[in-house]
Amino acid sequence: MAPHCNTMDGPVVTAAEMALEMENINYVLPFVSKESEDELKYAFDKTLLVRELSEDAAEIADYWFFETAVRLHRKDEGKTYTGLKPAGLDWGPVVGKAEKALEIEDPSKLIKFLLETVEEALNKRFTNAIQKKDYDLNDVDAAREYTNAMLEFVLFSNDLYKWIKKD
């Protein structure tokens, strides 16, 4: 999921809010694995009970449920849970473009943006390596600069490819 899954306005908390409002856990269950389902259901049931005690109790219980949902979601992604982040954080240009693509059911603007970004990143590393390529063999510092630039270009390209092909 997008990096904003741990924010108060991200999709996990939004789904958790809807689950509480509608008293239906199924709004948020898709964000956790089958293995985490029982723990989330337990938290949901406890939250619904505590919410009835008072407005303050409901606020605390809701936050605990949001934290539980996000923590389990992050765990299932293989990521560390570092707490809920506030709403309105700037996650850069990609998250909004990806969400918009889903909303309008057309990824073309996102694809164009990402292709331009990848092209720019590759060209920058390529140009840096080429500029350092013709070094004096007796200048070891220059040779190291080229080697580092060359490896940065090659490894960046390879890592990008592996990330794209990752299942």
Q: How far apart are CA 161 and CA 155, in angstroms?
A: 10
pLDDT value of position 1 = 42
Instruction: Give the DSSP letter string of 28-56.
Output: TGGGS-GGGHHHHHHHHHHHHHHHTT-HH
Per residue in 29-40, pLDDT tens?
999 999 999 999
Per residue in 78-106, pLDDT tens?
999 999 998 888 888 998 899 899 999 99
Strand partners, 7: 85
> Cα separations (Å) of 142 from 128, 152, 154?
13, 15, 18
The DSSP secondary-structure symbol of 84 reads P
Q: What ranges do the domains of the chain cover?
A: 3-77, 105-165
